[in-house]
Amino acid sequence: MINNLKTKNIKRISRSAEHAAFTDLCENPFDGTSSSLLCVYREADTHVSPNGKIVLCEIDKKSMTSNTLQELQIPGSDLRDPKLSFDGECLFITAYAKTLLNNGSISRHMVSYSSTNGKTWSAPNHFGDDAWWIWNCDRYKSYFYGFAYNRAAESISLYRGNLDNSMQCYRENVFGLEKSGKGYPNESALLFDGQGNANVFLRRDADTFSAQFGFSQPPYSEWEWHDLGVYIGGPAAAKLENGNFLVAGRHVDWDSESFTTRLWHFDTKTKTLSELLTLPSGGDTSYPGLVINDDILYASYYSSHIDGQSRVYLAKLRGVKSLNITK
């Protein structure tokens, strides 16, 4: 691998708000000119607050200017960590809804919204099992798949189904403390290749805190796991032309207790990560979204490094093709 990845431009794309964070990014599937991206993020008072809503914006690739298309919210609920998924016809926004009930308890469940034009959206649809947080979803053949985690269970399970209807547990306890001896697996980036092989980058927040890479072939009953030796919070990944991956997420310097959003290269043969660069970031930061266009990488993420408040940024980087070159 040759690393010629360079940052061309970075722009803040979030509106004025106390806290803007937790992003995802995709090509705009409804733009016939392929000149725009769609970005979702959460807007609220604080990192955790009961008024979290989802903001969807359209971004012009050339100028990197953003235009708000939609706001999605449920009164009394905190909609967290929105993700974008596309099935060829419908675009889905999924989120985790935390709702304070009248009896003082908290309801936790997944919700999805769907659209066939990016401008008008369905009512929220509940899917999955309560208190199981299904992170990002990817589609293979006729189903969406996604890993769900439950903190009390200290494990992840693979869910399968349709985002506009329901998702059921397909493979239980794929990785976790009891099965794998590694604690608190949670957020994940799941991607399928053309043969249906599943690749996942998994965050952990216990014992060594080291992220994991998982691989499985259909029907996903057997998994290979590799310890990556580094912490990755809010992982995102994008596949390169040669089958390797770009990976992004929160990096922690444990000595200084400082946080940044970082990009890595992952070699699928050696199962190793190589650091590429650190985006301008600090404080409360991470949860990127990645889109590759030929030699260009677009990366959305949030950070509080400028004024102490969490803002959403879009970075435009050049040099992706160099990562496909073998020395």
| Assigned token pair, 201 | 């980058």
Nearest Cα to 280, choosing from 255, 314, 322? 314
On whether the pTM is more than 0.85, the answer is: yes
Burial (CB count <10 Å: 0-12, 13-18, 19+), residue 277 = middle
pLDDT in tens, 174-219: 999 999 999 999 999 999 999 999 999 999 999 999 999 999 999 9
Give the type of residue at 62. Answer: K
**For the segment 37-86, what is each residue's pLDDT rounded down to a tens digit?**
999 999 999 999 989 999 999 999 999 999 999 999 999 899 999 999 99
288, HSE (Cβ side, Cα atoms, 13 Å): 31
What is the residue type of 268? T
List, edge to edge, every strand of the sheet that includes 198-204: 185-192, 198-204, 212-216, 224-227
In this predicted model, what pLDDT tens digit does every residue of 211-259 receive, in sequence order?
A: 999 999 999 999 999 999 999 999 999 999 999 999 999 999 999 999 9
Q: Which of 326, 321, 281 is nearest to 299 (CA)?
A: 281
